Amino acid sequence: MRRNILIGLAMAVGVVTLAAFGRSWHHRHDPERMAEFVTERVDDALDDVDATPEQRERIHAVKDRMLARAKELHGDRAAVRATVLEAWKSEAPDAAKLHALVDERADAMRALAHEAVDAGVEAHGVLTPEQRAKVAEKAERRMHR
């Protein structure tokens, strides 16, 4: 049961971060607005569990670190798009170069996902068992909608 809660929390941190930033760049929204969105979600969860000021500070540090990493990962999208467009326009696209680009991006996303799991584990350790149970209950309600 505890393992499921831990995995759920880790996934929630990662998914919220990745989904928020994916949406941010896809729809050309301001990254700062997306950071505000994620912060509001985190604050809502912290309010639900009556987090202490110290817990809030520690979890916000985790959130800020993850947002910075997600922003960093998405920061080079213009270069990736330019490379793909250049290949498309060429007479003979270099498939090996494009496959290498895909592998590089997949590895970067995988690394970010692992960091998100670690962030979830870190957040898990900040909360009390009762607070984690409240988070798990909220997650279960959302999963059964």
Residue 20 has a pLDDT of: 45
What's the distance, CA 100 to chain centroid? 24
Q: Find the Cα–Cα–Cα–Cα dihedral 15, 19, 21, 22, rounded to 10°.
A: 130
Judge contact between 6 and 124, C-beta under 8 A: yes
CA distances from 12 to 34, 58, 90, 117 (A): 16, 17, 41, 9
Q: Are 25 and 76 in contact (CB under 8 A)?
A: no
Query: In this structure, are residues 20 and 37 in contact, taking their beta carbons and an 8 Å threshold?
Result: yes
- DSSP for residue 1: -
61-98 pLDDT, tens digit each = 999 999 999 888 888 788 889 999 999 999 999 999 99
Q: What is the rounded CA–CA span in Å between residue 29 and residue 49?
A: 30
Q: Whole-model pTM above 0.85?
A: no
Is the pLDDT at 128 greater than 80, yes or no? Answer: yes
C-alpha pair distances (Å), 118 with each of 3, 12, 18, 49, 65? 14, 12, 14, 21, 11
Tokens of 13: 């941190």
48 pLDDT more than 50: yes
